[in-house]
Amino acid sequence: MEAFIERQRTARLALTTEDGPHLLAIRFALLDGAVVTVAGDEGETPGLRALYLRPEVALLWDEYSEDWTRLGWVEAHGRAT
């Protein structure tokens, strides 16, 4: 799974905001078994606030192919810090 994740360039971060479920496409890196990302000032502020209030998140990395036998994905659940 780690090799698959390392090949990906983006992930989808699922979180819960005051308005309900929300998805953010993020850039990320793996560091000592953790997924790390940099938060920007513009456009992501509601998502960042939501992480402080409800830190339970899900991450999805996926790889699409027209050949459906080559589809792949990894989903992880955890707490944002």
Dist. CA 24–CA 16, nearest whole Å: 11
Asked whether residue 10 carries a pLDDT value surpassing 90, the answer given is yes
Asked whether residue 77 carries a pLDDT value surpassing 90, the answer given is yes
With b for 16 or more beta-carbon neighbours within 10 A and e for fewer, the 11-35 pattern comes to: bebbbeeeeeeeebebebeeeeeeb
pTM of this prediction exceeds 0.85 = no
pLDDT at 48: 73
Q: What pLDDT digit, counting tens, does each position of 14-66 carry? A: 998 888 888 888 999 999 989 998 876 555 556 677 888 899 999 999 999 99
Asked whether residue 13 carries a pLDDT value surpassing 80, the answer given is yes
Which amino acid makes up residue 26?
Answer: I
